[in-house]
Amino acid sequence: MAEPILEIKNLSATVAGKEIIKNLNLTINADEVHALMGPNGAGKSTLSYVLTGKPDYEVTGGEIRFCGKDLLAMKTDERASAGLFLSMQYPVAIPGVATNNFLKHAVNAKRKYEGLPELDAAEFLKLLRTEAKNLNIGADMLKREINVGFSGGEKKRMEILQMSLLKPSLAILDEADSGLDIDALKLVADGVNKLHNETNALLIITHHLDLLNHIEPDIVHIYADGHIIKSGDKNLAIELEKSGYKTFVDAE
Amino acid sequence: MSLTEQNITLWGDDIPWLAGLREKGLNAFNKAGLPTAKTEAWKYSFKAVGQTENLQIDTAPHECDGHCHHLHDLPFKAYQIHVCDGKLHGEHFDLPQGVSLKPLVEAIYDGDAKAYLNKSFEAEKFPFAALNTAYLEHGFMLVIERGTVVDEPIFIRYHNEHTTNTFNNIRNLIVVESRAKAEIIEYFDGNGIGNINNIVNEIFLSTDSSLQHYKLQSESASTRHISFNSIQQKSGSSYKCFVAQKECTLARHESYIKLMQEGASAEVNGIYKLNSDGVSDITTNIRHLAPHTISNQLVKGVVDGHAKGVFQGQIHIAPDAEQTEGYQLHRALLLSDEGEVDCKPELEIFADDVKCSHGATCGDLDKEQLFYMQSRGININDARRILIEAYLQEVLNKIDNSAVAEWIKAQF
C-alpha cells in the first residue's frame, strides 16, 4: 500500500467571504497521477492556492495532511520546502531578478530546510545547465529577468524547470498545457514524466484531454461547484470530452 | 548660542573681499532664517533640522590620530582624499598629472578661488548654503585641467569621528576645464554625534567636459547632513550624479543645476533606504537655460518604520530653451503605516518645443511576486529583501562604473 502524500478531509474554503470549496475530500498516494477536470469557475485554481497557502484564501473547515504533516499549520515557503510544488497558470514576472539567481535562491532555500549545505555558484550552475537543457532552455533565457517578457510557452517551461530543480513530493500542474503548441506540450509532458516516480505524485488541473494523452492519469476527478462530483479512470476523461461537463453537473 | 552668534575668528577675515563675502552670506541667512513650514524648499524636512542652539563651530587645528587614513578595502582603485572631522587632511595629495587639489584657504590666498567662490547660486534662496558662505574656511578646490582624462575615481572620504554637536561647514570648488573628464566619489561616514554637516559643492563644467559624481551618505544616526550642490554647465558638458542615502536624522541632497549653453546634459539618479525614524530628502532644481539641453532624473526609495522620504524635483525651461528634454521619475516603496513619502514635482516650462515628463509612484511590495517566491520555498524576509534589491537595482544600473555600483549596492 503506497503512502498517502496528500489527504484532504471535508475541506471548505472562502475567498473574499465567498465559499468556493465545499466539503472536499481527496486522497493522493505516492506513485499516483490524479487529474482534476472541471468547468471554468469551478474552483480548481482556488484549490491549488489553498494548498499552497496564498493570502486571502481562507480555510473555514476540514483538514489537510501533507506527507503526514498538518499542511494548514505551515507557511507557504515551508510547504514548498516540504515538497509541495505548484506550477502556476499565470506565473508572475519579477523585474530586476535574474532567472538564475531566483532559481538559486529557491534551490538553496529547500537545501537549507533539509539541513543540506547551500550550493555555491559553480555547483548550482552545473545542476541548472543539465536540467535546463532537458527543457530546451538556453543560457540567454536564464540570464533574463524571471518571466519578464517570456512567451506563454517559455513561462510554462520555466515552471517545469523549477519543478525539476525542486523535485517535489507533490506537483500540482495548474493548466500547464494552456497556450502551448504541440511541440511545447510534449516538452513539458516529457519533463513532468521524467520526474514522476513511485515516491511522488502529480495533481493535474486541466480542461482538456490533451495533456492527459501525454501524462497518463491513474484517477480522473470531475470537479464542480467546489467539490468532486465523480471519480474514475482515464475513460472518464474521454467520456467527458465527448459529452461535456454539463451532463455530469446536471446529473449531480 | 545660535548658529549666527559664534564667537570665532576665521582665516582671512582681514581680506576685504572675503570678509565681505562672509558678511553677505550672514546677511542672506539672517534674512531667510532657519527653514520653517513656510519655506517651500524645506516644507517636508525642516523639522528634521531640529535643535541648533547647542551647536559649536570647531576652530581647533586638525589633529589626526590616524583614523582618517586610507580605506584599504575599497574594491576599486582610486585617488583618496580625506576630510576628517570637517577638516581637510594633509596639504599635499597624490594626484595624477593635470589634477590639482588645494585646501580652500590656499586657493583663496593664491587667487585661484575668487573667480568661482559663491558665483554659482543666489545665497538668499538657500539658507544653509548662505550660512556655509558666512563661515567658509574649510574645504578644497579641485581642478581637472583642460583635456585631462583622470584614469581612476577621485575618492573623497568625509569622516566625522570625534566631533559632538559640531556645526561643520565645508565648501568645495570643483572645476572641470574643457574636454576634461573625471569621476569623483564622495563618501560620508563616521560616528560623530549630533553634528550638522553643511556641505556646499560649487561645480563648474567647461565646454565638452564630463563629471561623474557619485555619493554615498552613510553617517551616524544622529547626523544632520545638508548638502547643496550647485552646478554650472557650459556647452556639450555632461554631469551625471548618483546619490545613495542611508538613514540618519536628516540626509538632504540638493542639486541646483544650470544648463547654461547648448548641448549640456545632466542626470541626477538616486536611491535611499530608511528603516527607523530618519528623513531622506533629495531635492533638485534643474534649469534649462539654453536650447538642446537634456536632463534625466530617476530616484527610488524604500521607507519603513516611522521614516520619511522626500523628493522635490523642479525642472525649469527658460523661454528660449527650445528642443530641450527634461525627464523625472520618483518611485517609493512605503512598507509601513507609520512611514511617510512626500513627492513634489514642479515643471516650469516657458518654451514651446520641449519634451518633458514627470512621474511619481508610491506603493507596497507586490503581493503576487511575494507569493510566487514563497511558493518556491523562499521565506518572506528573503523574498522582501530580494524584491527591494531588485527595485533599487534599476537605478544602480545607471552607474557607468560597475565596481562603484557594486560597492554602493553592497552597503544597501
In this predicted model, what pLDDT tens digit does every residue of B167-212 receive, in sequence order?
999 999 999 999 999 999 999 999 999 999 999 999 999 999 999 9
Tell me: pLDDT of A251 over 90: no
Residue of A nearest to B368 (CA): A92
Q: Quick one: CA dihedral A9, A14, A15, A20, positive or negative?
A: positive
Tell me: pLDDT of A227 over 70: yes
CB contact under 8 A, B373 and A86: no
Give pLDDT tens digits for B330-347: 999 999 999 999 999 999
Three-point CA angle B237, B239, B243, nearest 5°: 180
A166 interaction partners in chain B (CB closer than 8 Å): 376-377
CB contact under 8 A, A92 and B376: no
The answer, for B367 touching chain A at a CB cutoff of 8 Å, is yes
CA distance B74 to chain A (A): 24
Of B377, B387, B391, the CB nearest to A113: B377
Q: How many residues comprise chain A?
A: 252
* Amino acid symbol at B255: S
Position B71 confidence tier, pLDDT thresholds 50, 70, 90:
confident
Grid cell 559624481 in the structure block, residue: B213
The answer, for A106 touching chain B at a CB cutoff of 8 Å, is yes
Tell me: pLDDT of B279 over 60: yes
Of B368, B380, B386, the CB nearest to A77: B380
Position B317 confidence tier, pLDDT thresholds 50, 70, 90:
very high
ipTM exceeding 0.90, yes/no: yes
Three-point CA angle B56, B60, B64, nearest 5°: 115
Closest CA to B343 of B357, B365, B356, B359: B359
Residue of A nearest to B379 (CA): A77
B375 interaction partners in chain A (CB closer than 8 Å): 52, 54, 76-77, 80, 86, 88
CA distance B364 to chain A (A): 14
Residue A208 CA to residue A202 CA, distance in Å, equals 16
Position B91 confidence tier, pLDDT thresholds 50, 70, 90:
confident
Residue of B nearest to A94 (CA): B369
What pLDDT sits at residue B2? 78
* Amino acid symbol at B13: D
Of B367, B377, B393, the CB nearest to A96: B393
Q: Identify the residue among B365, B371, B376, B378 best suited for mutation to test binding to A, counting A beta carbons within 10 A and taking the highest.
A: B376
Residue of A nearest to B382 (CA): A105
Beta strands in B177-217 (DSSP E): 181-189, 196-205, 210-217
Give pLDDT tens digits for B374-412: 999 999 999 999 999 999 999 999 999 999 999 999 999
Position B93 confidence tier, pLDDT thresholds 50, 70, 90:
confident
Taken in order of first residue, the domains within chain A and their CATH numbers are 4-251 (3.40.50.300)
| DSSP structure string for A155-213 | HHHHHHHHHHHH--SEEEEESTTTT--HHHHHHHHHHHHHH--TT-EEEEEESSSHHHH
The answer, for A27 touching chain B at a CB cutoff of 8 Å, is no
CA distance A94 to chain B (A): 6
> Range with the lowest mean pLDDT among A185-189, B229-233, B327-331?
A185-189
B382 interaction partners in chain A (CB closer than 8 Å): 105, 109
Residue of A nearest to B397 (CA): A96
Residue B335 CA to residue B302 CA, distance in Å, equals 7
Domain borders along chain B are: 16-410
What pLDDT sits at residue A1? 58
Residue of A nearest to B391 (CA): A96
CB contact under 8 A, B372 and A76: no
